[in-house]
Amino acid sequence: MKLLQYILPVTLLMATATSCNKLDLKPLDKLDGNAMFSDPQGVKLYMANLYYQLPIEDFNFMRGGFNDWIGENMVSAHFTDEAVHSNYLDFLTTGNFHWWEQGYKLIRDVNIFSDAIPQLRVSEDEKNKMRGESAFIKAYTYYALAKRYGGVSIIDSVQKYEGDVEVLKVPRSTEKETWDFVMTQCDIAIQHLPETWPGGERRATKWVAAALKTRAALHAASIAKFGDRAVLSGEAVSRKLVGIEKMYANDYYRQVIDAANLLMENGPFALYKPNPASPEEAAENYRKMFEDPSVAPEEAIFIKGFTKVDLGHNYDIYYNPAQTANGWPHPGRINPTLEFIDLFESYAQPGQSSPIRTSAAANDITDYSGFNPAKNYYRFDHPSDIFEGKDARLWGTVILPGTQWKNTEIVIQAGFIKPDGTPQIMEGNPYTHTDGKTYHVFGSSDRTQYSGFDSYGGNYTRTGFSFKKFLDQRIPVVYGYSKGLTDYIDFRYAEVLLNFAEAVVESGITDNNAVAKATAALNAIRKRAGHTQDIPLTVENVQRERRVELAFENKRFWDLMRRREYHTLFQNTIMHALLPVVDLRVTPAQYIFIRTEVPRGWRYTFDPRQYYRYIPGIGSNGLVQNPQY
Partner 1 sequence: MNWMKAIVCMSGISCFMTACSLDNYEAPTSAIYGSFIDQETGELIEQDIVRGTQIEYQEGRFVANQYMVVKPDGTYRNNLLFNGVYKFTPVRGNFEPIDPVTVEITRDTKLDFQVIPFLRIKHVSIFKNGNKVKAIFRIQQTGFDNVLKVGLYAGADKAAGATVNQSAVEIPVGATVSEDQSFTIEMDIVNNPRLKKGFTYYFRVGAVIDAPEAKFNYAPAVELTL
Position 628 contacts partner 1 (CB under 8 A): yes
Measured between alpha carbons, how far is 573 from 372 in angstroms, rounded to an integer? 23
Choosing from 168, 365, 539, 618, the residue that interacts with partner 1 (CB under 8 A) is: 618
- Closest CB to partner 1 among 13 and 231? 231
Alpha helix segments (H runs only) across 267-323: 279-291, 315-319
- Closest CB to partner 1 among 347 and 629? 629
Measured between alpha carbons, how far is 413 from 441 in angstroms, rounded to an integer? 7
- Closest CB to partner 1 among 384 and 596? 596
Question: Are the C-beta atoms of 479 and 328 separated by less than 8 Å?
Answer: yes
- Closest CB to partner 1 among 19 and 369? 369
Distance in Å, CB of 612 to partner 1, minimum: 15
Question: Are the C-beta atoms of 17 and 24 separated by less than 8 Å?
Answer: no
Position 619 contacts partner 1 (CB under 8 A): yes
Measured between alpha carbons, how far is 297 from 289 in angstroms, rounded to an integer? 10
Distance in Å, CB of 342 to partner 1, minimum: 18
Position 166 contacts partner 1 (CB under 8 A): no
3-state secondary structure at position 590: strand
Distance in Å, CB of 377 to partner 1, minimum: 16
Measured between alpha carbons, how far is 316 from 131 in angstroms, rounded to an integer? 38
- Closest CB to partner 1 among 67 and 621? 621
Choosing from 368, 378, 439, 602, the residue that interacts with partner 1 (CB under 8 A) is: 368
Report phi then psi at 407, rounded to 5.
Answer: 55, 25
Q: Which stretch binds partner 1 (CB under 8 A): 44-52, 136-144, 150-158, 597-605?
A: 597-605
Residues 542-571 that bind partner 1 (CB under 8 A): 571
Choosing from 76, 111, 173, 596, the residue that interacts with partner 1 (CB under 8 A) is: 596
Position 572 contacts partner 1 (CB under 8 A): yes
List the beta strands (DSSP E) in 157-203. Answer: none
- Residue type at 451? S
Distance in Å, CB of 94 to partner 1, minimum: 12
Distance in Å, CB of 370 to partner 1, minimum: 6
- Closest CB to partner 1 among 46 and 606? 606
Residues 369-428 that bind partner 1 (CB under 8 A): 369-370
Choosing from 104, 457, 597, 601, the residue that interacts with partner 1 (CB under 8 A) is: 597
Total of residues contacting partner 1 (CB under 8 A): 21
Position 485 contacts partner 1 (CB under 8 A): no
Q: Measuring CA to CA, which residue among 604, 517, 544 is closest to residue 569?
A: 604
Residues 444-463 that bind partner 1 (CB under 8 A): none
- Closest CB to partner 1 among 232 and 524? 232
Distance in Å, CB of 610 to partner 1, minimum: 11
Per the document, the length of the chain is 629
- Closest CB to partner 1 among 311 and 618? 618
- How many of the other CB atoms lie within 10 Å of CB of 24? 7
Residues 2-21 that bind partner 1 (CB under 8 A): none
Q: Is 347 exposed, middle or buried (0-12, 13-18, 19+ CB in 10 A)?
A: middle
Report phi then psi at 96, rounded to 5.
Answer: -80, 155
- Closest CB to partner 1 among 91 and 104? 91
Question: Are the C-beta atoms of 404 and 384 separated by less than 8 Å?
Answer: no
Distance in Å, CB of 235 to partner 1, minimum: 10
DSSP-assigned states of every residue in 386-440 = GGTTB-HHHHHHEE-TT-EETTEE-----EEE-TTS-EEESSS--EE-TTS-EE-
Question: Are the C-beta atoms of 561 and 147 separated by less than 8 Å?
Answer: yes
- Closest CB to partner 1 among 170 and 237? 237
- How many of the other CB atoms lie within 10 Å of CB of 47? 19
Contact flags string 202-241 toward partner 1, x per CB under 8 A: --------------------------x--xxx--------
Q: Which stretch binds partner 1 (CB under 8 A): 40-48, 158-166, 361-369, 513-521?
A: 361-369
Helix (H) or strand (E) holding 351: strand 349-353
Measured between alpha carbons, how far is 626 from 507 in angstroms, rounded to an integer? 28
Q: Which stretch binds partner 1 (CB under 8 A): 80-88, 207-215, 363-371, 424-432?
A: 363-371
Distance in Å, CB of 104 to partner 1, minimum: 20
Measured between alpha carbons, how far is 479 from 483 in angstroms, rounded to an integer? 8
Distance in Å, CB of 481 to partner 1, minimum: 36
Measured between alpha carbons, how far is 504 from 203 in angstroms, rounded to an integer? 29
3-state secondary structure at position 301: strand
3-state secondary structure at position 268: coil
Binding site for partner 1 (CB under 8 A): 228, 231-233, 367-370, 571-572, 596-597, 603, 605, 607-608, 618-619, 625, 628-629
